[in-house]
Structure 1
Amino acid sequence: MTSMTTQYPARTMEECDAILTAPGAVGEVEEVMVNGVKQRVWKNQPTNYRVALEDGFTKYAERVMYVSPLPNSPEYEEVTYAEQRRRVVHLAAWLRTQGIRQGSKVAVGGDNSSRFLVVPWAAHYLGAVPVFINSTLHNDATVHCLGITKPDIVLGDADFVASIVPIMGRLKERGVGPVYSYDPTEHLSSELRAAIARIPDFNPTATQLRQIESGEGLGLEVMTPESEGHIFFTSGTSGMPKAVLSNQRGALHNYVSGTFAGLRAALRAGATYEQATAHPVAQACMLVPAPLFHVTGCISWTTRQMTTGAKIVWMKRWSVPEAIRLIEKYDVNVLGGVPATTKAIFQSPLLPKTRMFTAISSGGAPVQAGLVTDLTKRFPGISCSNGWGLTETNGLHNALTGRDYLENSESCGPTIPICDVEIRDADTGRVCGPDEMGIIWARGSNVMVCYYGDEAATRKAMTPDGWFNTGDMGSLDARGFLYIRDRAKDIIIRGGENIASAEVENALARLPETAEVAAVAVPDPVLGELVGCAVSLAPGKFLTPQMVLDRVAPMLRYAAQPVFCHIYEGDLPRNANGKIRKDVVKKECAERWVKLTGGKRWVRNKAKL
């Protein structure tokens, strides 16, 4: 237990950071030159992913690491740290026989499971670069993502591999390597089974295992913190995902950054350095519904897990009843993910009154007003935190925890010490003053290297001295606390998942009856936002709103399918430059949607919630 002072705060933020980043401290910071740019880095973070994984696997070998859904079954399995390591080493040995080496690219796609994570970690053991594919994408987008990165091999669960069978030929033409399923395929049709290759049963020799475990002869000596670390994808205003390449240092910054806000909060509450940094005795059990193809689920939470020896319960698909069943069965005491999932659990009558949580961490979407207050009343003593970051910042960039968050629940807090934030005027580029809204620019050793395969997009987003234009709108107060005010990009955030409006608009535009199209967000009390749209029709054409929704749905992944359509009788609103006034369209669609639904939760298909 950390001691508490009668006066809060016991220390200023600056005093806390000075203690935590001092020489010899857990968060010691040093400066390095990378490509001519001076960066602040964590001195004590692992040098590469292989080192980080081996340390965690070894330190917590006997603990349960994952509660994971079994393939094609409603059942779950418990996997220890030692067993996960064994699976990683065995797959790495097989990948080695397939020609995977340091610098190779290994793509992975599928639903959340411990088996999913075996793939990127086996790649890391060889010094290869994992490429994380969003398994919910439309096939054209999947071709785009794999075609940009050209992985040497693609591994996925049976359903993901089955979904890309129709585009296998296109992938091969784009230079993508062979595709394998790491799961059984018996539940699929005979035609699909015939088209899918499975990873064969493989028993590595003692020599092969020693090579993987020792790293000798794998070419790992050439790796540095600036070596390629991983590739995730993010949606932009182009409508197609961008490939975000990060180096090893950026990919691993969460090993320190992920715990820093909590250490700050402890010192602010009066704990000594020794009390704040003491290793937890009890194993935390976390329920994480965030998808593993996203930075939040795959990087932020798994690195936090590795530093503390925690257990994670993975959900194959989000379901409130299933989440509560797992919470009760496995005694989950930490919740993570977007605020919508936390709120759904909190509001469910299925959650026993006796259930208590020790910590709840939010990110990926704005926290709804009053949620933090309600949580602290329901779960006395709970530690609540909020963070802000992007795929391009490898997750956390700003964070706020504890009492500071309770008193500033609309804020994402100050930056982590290796990071910088500036608010710049959208038109002039001038650095804004306190409480002045503008574009959020981010810099730090956690920021991506580039948009892989897209030099033009990289030059547009990043300056030579390392500043990244996030496209988000926000402000900083006099203390340096960040507030997210709006989004400059045309991104719809549905339950924390980013959906590019252009993705929806491209599909709408393929309808021969439409003339102008716009995709905008409409409010939802559970997911925050859903996809709405507005169209005008070509002369002499006829469509009803429901006809638009029905015809465009098959062209889009589930999350991107509009739930509401407004058909303008004339042109869509435009400004003097001829651009569609999306602010006007969004307001009108939102008003019509709220009138239609009464502001209540909307359900399209209960099985998918």
Structure 2
Amino acid sequence: MATAAAAADPRSGYCAATGAFRSKRAEVPLPAGRDLDVVTFLASRRHSGVVALVDASTGRRTTFAELWRAVAGAATALAAPPFGLRKGHVALILSPNSVHFPVAALAAMSLGAVVTTANPLNTAAEVAKQVADARPVLAFTTRDLLPKLPRAADGLRVVLLESSSSPAPADPRIVATIDEISATAPDPARRRDRVTQDDQATLLYSSGTTGPSKGVVATHRNLISMVQIVMNRFRLEDSDTTETFLCTVPMFHVYGLVAFATGLLGCGATIVVLSKFELPEMLRCISAYGVTYLPLVPPILVAMVAHPKPLPLGNLRKVLSGGAPLSKELIEGFREKYPQVEILQGYGLTESTAIGASTDSAEESRRYGTAGLLSPNTEAKIVDPDTGEALPVNRTGELWIRGPYVMKGYFNNTEATQATVTPDGWLKTGDLCYIDEDGYLFVVDRLKELIKYKGYQVPPAELEALLLTHPEVSDVAVIPFPDRDVGQFPMAYVVRKKGSNLSAQEVMEFVAKQVAPYKKVRKVAFVTDIPKNASGKILRKDLIKLATSKL
């Protein structure tokens, strides 16, 4: 890697000898010791922060001293009967955002247990499928979500993620509440399994926007490297002031889990936890708690720009967007409405522990359409999907990345792991990208989502960006529609703006005037909303299913 760095073009980071791009950002030091888990790493960080967590709904504050004592107490209780949680056991967290979520995750990981999370909006059948695959021995959940846990799950014990004040439901699976186990006196003499950086820490199920979701196994090393890169990005350890982050993103998602339930707790930042996103509540919290950083997903940003008047954002200094790239119109619209707030972006996957590329300043974000510069400690290749050839600057191909945060593999799925991670550690992202002459990464589309029209490749994202410029279109998704003669053609699902009578013919004509003939939209359906996952990515597989079910 040192040779690649020495031979790399300082402007783009590209090395012709290796065909790889090297991050232009300074390397971030990583701990070398093998016997280290992410919880010990976080708890040992020195910082001047006092308040770790704030419950947005009640205003209840948890200091760092109280947090780490609760984690140690919960770990002591979980290691003892009746739980007997051990290294390698899986613990499920099925819960909306809460101040209890990080305690549950950190306590389980400190024991060497593997944390798996589920979306609380999932159906009981979807939760049952994940439970059958991951086989947790313990579940943290709320009384409202308890019915979604399969009763057939063998020996699954439950800890309620709520206070002990109200009586627990009459369910034999419930053993305790999080408050009860957190109040256990930490036992320094308890039996401890040896946990190393190479051991599994999390088992997160990828969103499956293009197919069935797969369990992504991340190690303690992956999480530790991600924590170091995040702390370096925000330069939080060097700051004399405590930054306050508002957690609007779901903690069950990789972005929420690695940032809010782990990473930021190591650098003294205060995290204000919203149990669910509502714009008025978000604005109240920004004002009431002096929020300075607002991580969010693109749909929230769209709502803020679409609001008739500028919203009151108090001391807010930075908005951090992840999940899907932001358009030039959206960035410019936000800057115009909120000139005092810097907008930053990030690119990552569940498979890369939410790391890959980012814009870390307003200047970098002005490179419209970019996902940013490669993260520290990162190499990238742009690979021709047909020939496997590594491509140079400004050529589009599949993005491969390599770094200390790349997943261990897919859970119990050797075939999928071998198809996604090369023997020398390159993660094939499935994203069509290019890197420009200054080292900025641009995501063109998902490789698997390309529409193949008579052998031509049509990126849906390109047509979506074009349709969003139509004054009567509020949201849109473009999918491949199967056709016997041409293979596939683009079909658009369109959300009309209020009061609009836009017709399918007008939509098709709008596109036809501006694209090559093979890119034309040839079918249109109008819907009230576009299905998206927690990070704002379009769930194309759901729309493809909807479209093809009528064939």
Q: What are the residue-to-residue correspondences of 1:443-462 with 2, within 5 Å?
A: 443-462=402-421
CA contact (8 A) 2:71 2:107 kept: yes
Find the residue that maps to 2:374 and give its secondary structure: coil
> Is the CA contact 2:245–2:272 (under 8 Å) kept in the aligned structure 1?
yes
TM-score, L = length of structure 2: 0.75
- 1:300-340 deviation digits (Å, cap 9, x = unpaired): 34445234311112211111111111112112121112122
Residues 336-377 of structure 1, C-alpha deviation per residue, up to 9 Å, x if partnerless? 121221332354357655734211111111112233334444
In 1: Cα distance, 2:59 partner to 2:491 partner: 42
Between Structure 1 and Structure 2, how many residues are aligned?
478
- Corresponding residue of 2:206: 234
Superposition map of 1:395-544 within 5 A: 395-490=354-449
Q: Which amino acid aligns with 1:65?
A: A
CA distance in 1, matches of 2:527, 2:272: 27
> 1:509 is matched with which residue?
none
Residue of structure 2 equivalent to 1:257:
229
Matches within 5 A, 1:164-563: 164=149, 167-169=150-152, 171-172=153-154, 177-183=156-162, 193-194=170-171, 197-199=174-176, 202=180, 209-211=186-188, 217-220=191-194, 223-236=195-208, 239-261=211-233, 279-348=238-307, 352-353=311-312, 355-380=314-339, 382-490=341-449
Is the 8 Å Cα contact of residues 45 and 256 (structure 1) preserved in structure 2? Answer: no
1:372·1:384 contact (CA, 8 Å) conserved in 2? yes
Contact 2:475 2:496 in 1 (8 A): no
1:179 alignment partner, SS class: strand
Distance 2:303 2:495 in 1: 24
1:102 equivalenced with 2:93 (yes/no): no
Deviation at 1:99, TM superposition (A): 0.8
Q: Deviations over 1:434-459 (max 9, x none)?
A: 22222121222110001011112111
Pair 1:78 & 2:61 matched: yes
SS where residue 241 of structure 1 aligns?
coil
Contact 1:384/1:405 (<8 A) preserved: no
* TM-score between the two structures when normalised by the length of structure 1: 0.68
Partner Cα distance (1:487, 1:398) in 2: 16
Contact 1:411 1:484 in 2 (8 A): yes
Query: What's the CA shift for 1:278?
Result: 6.8
Does 2:120 align with 1:146?
A: no
Paired amino acid for 1:305: L
Letter in 1 for 2:39: R
SS of the aligned residue for 2:144 comes to: helix
Greater mean alpha carbon deviation, residues 362-371 or residues 444-453: 362-371
* Aligned equivalents of 1:575, 1:296: Cα separation in 2: 42
- SS for the counterpart of 2:127 is helix
Contact 1:522 1:532 in 2 (8 A): no
Query: 1: distance between equivalents of 2:175 and 2:341?
Result: 45
| Aligned counterpart for 1:49 among listed residues 38, 45, 50 | 38
Change (3 A) 1:282 1:601: farther
In 2, Cα distance between equivalents of 1:195 and 1:341: 40
More helix by share: 1
Q: Which whole-Å CA distance do the structure 1 matches of 2:480 and 2:198 have between them?
A: 45
Change over 3 Å in CA distance of 1:472–1:135 after alignment to 2: same
Match of 1:115 in 2: 100
Give the residue type in structure 2 aligned to 1:416. S
Corresponding residue number in structure 1 for 2:519: none
Further displaced range: 330-339 or 364-373: 364-373
In structure 2, stretches of 5+ residues that fail to align are 1-9, 14-21, 451-463, 508-525, 537-551
Contact 2:331 2:343 in 1 (8 A): yes
Distance in structure 2 (CA, Å) of the matches to 1:142 and 1:255: 29
The one of the two structures with greater contact order (alpha-carbon pairs below 8 A, sep at least 6) is 2
Q: Distance in 1 between matches of 2:65 and 2:441?
A: 40
Shift of 1:145: 1.5
- The residue identity in structure 1 corresponding to 2:491 is K
Q: Residues 260 and 17 from structure 1, CA distance in 2 versus in 1: closer, same or farther, beyond 3 angstroms?
A: farther
Match of 1:256, SS state, is helix
C-alpha distance in structure 1 between counterparts of 2:323 and 2:133, whole Å: 26
In 2, are the aligned partners of 1:65 and 1:79 still within 8 Å (CA)?
yes
Q: Is the 8 A contact 1:254 1:303 kept in 2?
A: no
Query: Distance between the aligned counterparts of 1:109 and 1:19, measured in 2?
Result: 37
> Structure 1: which 5+ runs fail to align?
1-10, 22-26, 29-40, 264-276, 492-519, 536-571
Per-residue CA deviations over 1:110-162 (Å, capped at 9, x if unaligned) read 00011122111111222222112222222332222222221221111222222
Q: Quote the residue 1:68 is aligned against.
A: 55
Contact 1:181–1:196 (8 Å) recurs in 2:
no
Deviations 1:196-242 (A, max 9, x none): 62515747998x6132xx7x63123xx22211121111133674321
The offset of 1:95, in angstroms, is 0.7
Q: What is the distance in 2 between the residues matched to 1:604 and 1:481?
A: 29
Q: Which amino acid aligns with 2:191?
A: G
Alpha carbons of 1:381 and 1:43: their partners in 2 closer, same or farther (altered >3 Å)? farther
Give the C-alpha shift of residue 390 in structure 1.
0.2
Counting aligned pairs with the same residue, the percent is: 22
Between the aligned partners of 2:264 and 2:86, the Cα distance in structure 1 is: 27
Give 1:586 deviation, angstroms.
Answer: 2.7
Report the secondary structure of 1:209's partner residue.
coil
Query: CA offset at residue 592 of structure 1?
Result: 8.8
Match of residue 146, structure 2, among 161, 185, 188: 161
Mapped to 2, the partners of 1:435 and 1:225 lie a distance apart of 37
Secondary structure of residue in 2 paired with 1:312? strand
Maintained 8 Å contact 2:23/2:377: no
Q: Is the 8 A contact 2:23 2:378 kept in 1?
A: no
Q: Which deviations, in whole Å up to 9, do the C-alpha atoms of 1:454-500 show, x marking residues without a partner?
A: 11211121211111221111111123211011112349xxxxxxxxx
Structure 2 Cα separation of the partners of residues 380 and 591 of structure 1 = 29
For residues 310 and 534 of structure 1, do their structure 2 counterparts lie closer, same or farther at Cα, with a shift above 3 Å needed? same
> How big is the alpha-carbon RMSD for the aligned residues of Structure 1 and Structure 2?
4.2
SS at match of 1:446: coil
Q: Deviations over 1:233-283 (max 9, x none)?
A: 1133674321100111112212221144456xxxxxxxxxxxxx8721221
For 1:506-526, what per-residue CA distance to the aligned partner results, in whole angstroms no more than 9, with x for missing partners?
xxxxxxxxxxxxxx999789x
Checking the alignment, whether the CA contact within 8 Å between 2:205 and 2:215 is kept in structure 1 is yes
